[in-house]
Amino acid sequence: MTQVPSVSLDTKDNNTINSTDDILIDSQQGLLSILRKLRSNPDKELRLLLLGLDNAGKTTILKSLASEDITQVTPTQGFNIKSVQSEGFKLNVWDIGGARKIRPYWRNYFENTDVLIYVVDSADIKRLEETGQELSELLLEEKLKGVPLLVYANKQDLGQAVTAAEIAEGLGLHNIKDRDWQIQSCIAIDGKGVKEGLEWACKNIKRK
């Protein structure tokens, strides 16, 4: 059991910032059990868009959510999609490549997104400004207007990694007023923090 902090902002609750430092993680609890617990509409089909710069850990997070082997992960040149169905509840997670030449095509996948998941390599300090610029542009997209934002501060196990709070400040998350957001510390290679982020996402699906 490991403690992983998270920082969140619920814009529907007087813009109050909530910090949680005692989240207990059970890495053995899979995606299916989360969906069974959170599902409010058994016929609901959800679309989660997973974006971020190359090498941020998006595909590893996707495989972790699907309880798949993460020892063989290669850079995504196009997109990956994983669908999980449990008792009529279907969750589609789209993982789009983050290389610079692929990013212009991200907008082809914006339609009908329920939650935007943005992954940041917490140890890649040199590219924090770049990833912040990409996120800012995403938040201006009309098709993503009002869509809840989940930011994974990945690779927290590396010594040079900055904290989720520092990343939130660097990305200017506290200035976001048009949607609910949360930043979640995680270590994708062993699943720590991934479940907590997904749990928040499922609870904050925009109402259609």
Q: Which fold has domain 45-204?
A: Rossmann fold (3.40.50)
Given this model, what pLDDT does residue 43 score? 54
> Is 190 among the annotated ligand-binding positions?
no
> How do residues 158-184 score in pLDDT, each as one tens digit?
999 999 999 999 999 999 999 999 999
> Is 157 among the annotated ligand-binding positions?
yes
> Is 48 among the annotated ligand-binding positions?
no
> Is 163 among the annotated ligand-binding positions?
no
> How do residues 32-88 score in pLDDT, each as one tens digit?
565 555 555 545 788 899 999 999 999 999 888 877 877 777 777 778 888 764 334
> Is 54 among the annotated ligand-binding positions?
yes
At what angle are helices 164-171 and 128-139 packed, to 10 degrees? 60
> Is 41 among the annotated ligand-binding positions?
no
Kindly list the domain boundaries of the chain, sorted by start residue: 45-204
> Is 74 among the annotated ligand-binding positions?
no
> Is 113 among the annotated ligand-binding positions?
no
Tokens describing residue 49: 């868009």
> How do residues 93-131 score in pLDDT, each as one tens digit?
889 999 999 999 999 999 999 999 999 999 999 999 999
Give, as one character, the DSSP assignment of residue 59: H
> Is 46 among the annotated ligand-binding positions?
no
* Nearest residue to 184 (alpha-carbon basis) of 167, 206, 172, 169: 167
Per the CB < 8 A criterion, the answer to whether 89 and 48 are in contact is no
